[in-house]
């Protein structure tokens, strides 16, 4: 299920070319207004480009020069947006069964397909409910099941977790990690963790142009674009799993959320978290966050409205007023805290 696309949308000054190979998940990253959603809309068939062509598995989705244009429902793509957009008058089960029903599958068989996909996204118990009674996270799971039940050749996800409560994002990411494995998909995201955990390949869009692309690890390790540089620098703690947490060579024990498969004790693993998830304190913070580390500030690096605080093992992003209030400078002794729910642990 491979996609090959080139498209120009003149009014939005967007000109992009993208290839998705069979079974590959591509993450599209970029600042606000850079053209990420425009790209997805063109693939999904809800926006007509002024020039270009696209093929999915050899089928032409559109070819402006030849005057070819397939409507969205004939493309074999499924688009999952921030808003789950479920049919309010249908039960959860019938929402998910809608795709197979519309492609001619019988009622009972469609419901069977729907049940299987609801189980896959851990929402089987919601089958009889109406969308109005669901939480944001539940509704989005149902929307994922509905998109997959239509058996799309290519799954398009437009910031599928942006509207969710932060507490349900890690669990949703695990669901996506499972359903996207080996599937051809394009996911638009602001979050570098999504790219790292969900995508094989990353495309960075800036001002309507693709400025960088390549295997996820390469782009994040050696970013060449401004945006790429901005998103790099995730905290990555490596080491064996000890008491479900990752023990680093520097001795830190980093607790976090495991993927769909709990990484066994002693196995080499990585704990990933963004510098923005790290809070900086002068006194040991109260409450009982599991991940609190004494550290010494080594470097302060201005990054727009934020400042990246570098210590020996962990980087934290804080605002300028926080730097002033805590009087942070190289040599300052601090405590760094990061909630376990903000840390993703997976096998190295
Ligand atoms: N419906 C629209 N009509 C006209 N111009 C639009 C429309 N939607 C977006 N644009 C413009 O097209 C450009 C690309 O926007 P697009 O929504 O694709 O960016 P994005 O990268 O998805 O942004 P965000 O991260 O904010 O969602 C921007 O200049 C935007 O102002």
pLDDT in tens, the chain (348 residues): 799 999 999 999 999 999 999 999 999 998 889 999 999 999 999 999 999 999 999 999 999 999 999 999 899 999 998 888 899 999 999 999 999 998 889 999 999 999 999 999 889 999 999 999 899 889 999 999 999 999 899 999 999 888 887 778 878 888 898 899 889 999 998 777 788 788 999 999 999 999 889 998 777 766 666 666 666 677 878 889 999 999 998 899 999 988 767 889 999 888 888 899 999 999 999 876 689 999 999 999 888 889 999 998 899 999 999 999 999 999 999 999 999 988 988 776
Indicate if ligand 1 lies below 6 Å from the C-beta of 191: no
Q: Same domain, yes or no, for 209 and 249?
A: no
> pTM (2 decimals)?
0.75
Looking at the structure of the chain, the number of domains it has is: 2
Hey, CA dihedral for 86, 91, 97, 101, is it positive or negative? Answer: negative
Range of the domain at 265: 235-347
Q: Are residues 222 and 251 in the same domain?
A: no
The answer to whether residues 223 and 151 belong to one domain is yes
Picking from 187, 165, 155, the residue whose alpha carbon sits closest to that of residue 30 is 187
Both 189 and 99 in one domain: the answer is yes
Tell me: do 218 and 240 sit in the same domain: no
Looking at the fold, whether 87 and 183 belong to one and the same domain comes out as: yes
Q: Please tell me whether residues 226 and 239 are part of one structural domain.
A: no
Which of 169, 196, 231 is at the close of a domain? 231
Residue where one domain finishes, among candidates 168, 198, 231: 231
ipTM: 0.93
Assess whether 110 and 154 both reside in one domain. Answer: yes
Select from 185, 201, 231 the last residue of a domain. Answer: 231
Same-domain pairing of 294 and 225: no
CA distances from 56 to 37, 39, 106, 187, 213 (A): 19, 15, 27, 17, 20
Report the atom number in ligand 1 closest to the C-alpha of 208: 14
Distances (CA, A) of 235 to 55, 115, 189, 232, 298: 38, 38, 19, 9, 15
Residues 41, 187 within the same domain: yes
Q: Which CATH number goes with the domain that contains 246?
A: 2.40.50.100
**Does 34 contact ligand 1 (Cβ within 6 A)?**
yes
Whether residue 276 sits in one domain with residue 220: no
Q: Is 38 in the pocket of ligand 1 (CB under 6 A)?
A: yes
Q: Is residue 165 located within the same domain as residue 245? A: no
**Residue 321 has what DSSP assignment?**
H
CATH number at residue 161: 3.40.50.300
Residue nearest atom 31 in ligand 1 by C-alpha distance? 33
**210 CA to middle of ligand 1, Å?**
15
Residue nearest to atom 8 of ligand 1 (CA): 38
């Amino acid at each position: 299920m491979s996609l090959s696309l080139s498209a120009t949308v003149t009014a939005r000054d967007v000109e992009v070319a993208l290839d998705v190979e069979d079974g590959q998940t591509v993450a599209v990253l970029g600042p606000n207004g850079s053209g990420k959603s425009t790209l997805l809309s063109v693939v999904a068939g809800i926006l007509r480009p002024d020039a270009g062509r696209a093929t999915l598995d050899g089928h032409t989705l559109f070819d402006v020069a030849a005057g070819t244009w397939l409507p969205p429902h004939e493309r074999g793509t499924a688009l999952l947006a921030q808003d789950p957009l479920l049919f309010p008058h249908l039960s959860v089960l019938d929402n998910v069964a809608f795709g197979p029903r519309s492609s001619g599958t019988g009622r009972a068989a469609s419901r069977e397909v729907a049940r299987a996909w609801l189980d896959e996204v851990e929402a089987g118990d919601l089958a009889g409910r109406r969308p109005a009674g669901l939480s944001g996270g539940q509704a989005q799971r149902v929307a994922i099941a509905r998109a997959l039940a239509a058996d799309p050749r290519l799954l398009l996800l437009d910031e599928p977790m942006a509207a969710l409560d932060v507490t349900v994002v890690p669990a949703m990411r695990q669901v996506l990690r499972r359903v996207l494995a080996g599937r051809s998909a394009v996911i638009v995201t602001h979050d570098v963790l999504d790219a790292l955990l969900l995508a094989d390949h990353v495309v960075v869009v800036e001002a309507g142009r693709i400025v960088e692309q390549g295997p996820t690890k390469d782009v994040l390790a050696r970013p060449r674009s401004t945006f790429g540089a901005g998103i790099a620098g995730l905290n990555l703690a490596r080491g064996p799993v000890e008491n479900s947490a990752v023990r680093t060579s520097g001795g830190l024990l980093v607790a976090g959320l495991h993927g769909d498969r709990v990484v066994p004790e002693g196995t080499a693993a990585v704990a990933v978290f963004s510098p923005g998830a790290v809070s900086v304190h002068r006194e040991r913070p109260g409450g009982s966050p599991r991940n609190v580390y004494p550290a010494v500030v080594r470097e302060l690096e201005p990054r727009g409205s934020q400042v990246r605080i570098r210590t020996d093992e962990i980087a934290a992003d804080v605002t300028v007023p926080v730097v002033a209030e805590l009087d942070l400078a190289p040599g300052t002794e601090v405590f760094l805290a990061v909630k376990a729910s903000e840390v993703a642990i997976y096998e190295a």
